Amino acid sequence: MSILGDGGGISLPMGDDVQMVEVTLTITDAAAERLRAVLSEEVGDDLVLIISTLSGGCSGHLYDMQVAERPDDSGFQHLDVEGIPISVHNRDSWRLNGIEVNYLDTLMGGGFKIENPNADRGCGCGKSFG
Amino acid sequence: MMEEANVSVIDRLVDSGLEQKEARVLVALAAADPLKASEIGRQVGITRMDAYNTLRRLQDRGLVMATIDKPMRFTALPISEVFQNFIFEEEAELRRLKAHLSELEAGVGSNTPPVGLPQGEPTFTVVKERTYIQAAMERLIQDSESHVWLLLGRWGIMHLVKTGALAAINEAGQRGVSVRVLATLDERTLKFYQELDDSIEVRHCDSFSLQGCIVDDEVAVQTLSLKSNPVGRGRDDAALVIEAAEFVSAQAELVAACWGNAASFAAARTRLEEGRIVEPLKVTLGGGSFYQRLKELVASNYHDQHPESIGWTNAILRRGDEVLSPEPTLPTFEALGIDTSEVFRSVGRRIGEEIAIELQDVTDDDEFWADLSQQWQELRMGELVVEGDPPTSIRVIDSGSCGGAPKLGGPFCHLDEGILEGIIQTRFGVSATAVERECTSTGDNHCHFDITFTQLDV
């Protein structure tokens, strides 16, 4: 008997394909107003909003929106949407292309909601996409 | 000075059981050489016949003696001996009563047994005169087994101290009976509450006039009429002693409800002695079915704002490790039906009450408003311009408190309205509603509040 057992095989982890696209996205008025307020309150030079996807949620990804100084990494695309400076890494570009960033004031408080045309299904908890 | 001392002696004599004019005659005689009835009448302000009748009653008690002169003149025992006489009389009476009781217990003359009422039959008794009412309460409390409600109104604690019934109450507390005291505390009576046993809890209601007690939910003493003089003998006082399970139980429920809304003794004392209001603020948040409103809002949120997925957010906004969103917002409370304006108004009223209490020693209204105006400025709330007394219109120039408010009718506008209402209510004892009709937040250079009184007799 081979060390692989009775004819079974093994599989190795494969890296995700990184497909780079030129990102366009929209921001609703409510989200723009909120983001402008947040950026104006934060202290720092050349602040931007870095949008990326995170692992987590019941179906795979959550969105991360980080207020940070403009990254000098050449892997980022830099956009200006409604006067708000936004940076998106190339590895997230295919997932984030076409998204709409919205801000909702709901029973549970205010929060950002990203509508993503690339998401093929919603999740039970509403916090991720596949 | 002499006049004041006489008044005090007269009060003591009246408190000891004499009629007012008997006391005055005794005091007049004690301070002078023997007098004729006509002279006494003139001094005391009664007719000669009235003086004769009064003197005869005092003679019957051995307090006044007549000379054998013609016309007859009268003299009295020294006042200290008068009181000594009273004590002898009371002690003799007590000995007589004890003798009766001993003989009854020994079976002497008790061949006609009393016919008792059927067990549980509701009964009531009218007791007159404060001393006897207090004695009835004392006896019931001595027999208490589990719990006692003591209802003292504003002056009841003084009656307890004066008659000695306080000892029975403390004794009940010390033997494990739950004794709770509900009263309207007054800075003049606070010291008497210190004489209560530590096991006894006292709470304060602003306007609590009930006086009496409820013992073991079985028997209640309820005062019917009470003379306003808290230190007098209270001869016209009357009370019902009620033994009726359903009535007493209902009374106890009513008192328990008042107890739930009453302030602690410590909080009331702080308010009376320091002018600070520290008891919990109770606020009405709104009415209707919150559950129904929540269900409707959740459904509305789901359909209107989340057409494609369940949930409300899928993005975290952060700066480093600090999460910047989500965060709770005021509209959330309003969406649930919680009236935030009423919350701010209630807090404002409380602040206004405290301000008015702080300035309560300022008796002149103009001076009061001037002091208030200065305090308002020190709080950086702007300059007050008051019209009317009590005011019907108040303008606040350079109001800092609502300068940052987003709109007329914002939270700080309601806070200011509440402060003005609290001040007026506490200072003038009338209910008022303050409504802001101009505000710096809408571009005016001042805030303008209209004051409407809800009591028309102002």
A121: buried, middle or exposed (CB in 10 Å: 19+, 13-18, 0-12)? exposed
For residue A119, give the amino acid letter. Answer: A
Beta carbons of A127 and B328 less than 8 Å apart: no
Cβ-contact A55, A105 below 8 angstroms: no
For residue B402, give the amino acid letter. Answer: C
DSSP three-state, residue A84:
strand
CATH superfamily, region B340-453:
Trafficking protein particle complex subunit 3 (3.30.1380.20)
Tell me whether the omega of the peptide bond preceding residue B118 falls within 30 degrees of 0, making it cis: no
Helix axes B20-30, B37-44, angle to 10 degrees: 110
Which of the listed ranges B244-253, B410-419, B443-452 does the model predict with the highest average pLDDT? B244-253
DSSP state of B440: G
Q: What whole-number percentage of chain B has pLDDT above 70?
A: 82
Q: Residue A7 above 90 pLDDT?
A: no
Pick one of 3.40.50.300, 2.60.300.12, 2.30.40.10, 1.10.3720.10 as the CATH number of A26-115: 2.60.300.12
**Sequence-ordered list of residues with C-beta below 8 angstroms from that of B47, at least 6 positions apart, any chain:** B41
What does each C-alpha distance from B217 to B88, B173, B202, B205, B408 come to in angstroms? Answer: 39, 16, 19, 21, 54
Please tell me which of the candidates B309, B314, B326 has its beta carbon nearest to residue A109.
Answer: B326
B311 touches A: beta carbon within 8 Å: yes
Q: Residue B3 above 50 pLDDT?
A: no
Span B48-62, pLDDT tens digits: 888 888 998 898 888
Tokens linked to B360: 């309560």
Q: Quick one: which of B343, B375, B340 has its CA closest to B356?
A: B375
Residue B299's pLDDT is 61
Residues of chain B with CATH 3.30.870.10: 123-272
A104 touches B: beta carbon within 8 Å: yes
**CB atoms closer than 10 angstroms to residue A78:** 12
Span B319-364, pLDDT tens digits: 888 888 755 455 567 777 777 788 888 888 888 888 888 888 888 8
**Sequence-ordered list of residues with C-beta below 8 angstroms from that of B246, at least 6 positions apart, any chain:** B122
Q: Which of A25, A41, A92, A107 is best to mutate for the B interface (most B CBs within 10 A)?
A: A107
Mention the CATH class of domain B123-272: alpha beta
Q: Give me the architecture of the B2-81 domain, per CATH.
A: Orthogonal Bundle (1.10)
Confidence of residue A128 (pLDDT cuts 50, 70, 90): very low
Cβ-contact B451, B377 below 8 angstroms: no
Residues of chain A with C-beta less than 8 angstroms from the C-beta of B294: 107
Span A59-116, pLDDT tens digits: 445 788 999 999 988 899 999 999 999 999 999 998 899 999 998 876 556 688 888 8
* Rounded Cα gap, residues B266 and A97, in angstroms: 65
Residue B398's pLDDT is 67
Q: Residue B30 above 60 pLDDT?
A: yes
Residues of chain B with CATH 3.30.1380.20: 340-453
A130 touches B: beta carbon within 8 Å: no
Tokens linked to A89: 């890494």
DSSP three-state, residue B179:
strand
B336 touches A: beta carbon within 8 Å: yes
| Phi–psi pair at B443, nearest 5 degrees | 100, -10
The residue ranges of every structural domain in chain A are 26-115
Cβ-contact B66, B72 below 8 angstroms: yes
Helix axes B20-30, B79-105, angle to 10 degrees: 130
Residues of chain B with C-beta less than 8 angstroms from the C-beta of A111: 312-313, 315, 325-326
Nearest CA to CA, how far is B306 from chain A (Å)? 9
Single pTM value for the model: 0.54
**CB atoms closer than 10 angstroms to residue B402:** 25
Average pLDDT of the segment spanning B44-51 = 88
Residues of chain A with C-beta less than 8 angstroms from the C-beta of B325: 34, 38, 110-112
* Rounded Cα gap, residues B150 and B152, in angstroms: 6
Tokens linked to B60: 């019957």
Residue B457's pLDDT is 44
The answer to whether the complex's ipTM is over 0.95 is: no
A25 touches B: beta carbon within 8 Å: no
Confidence of residue B159 (pLDDT cuts 50, 70, 90): confident
For residue B92, give the amino acid letter. Answer: A
**CB atoms closer than 10 angstroms to residue B93:** 10
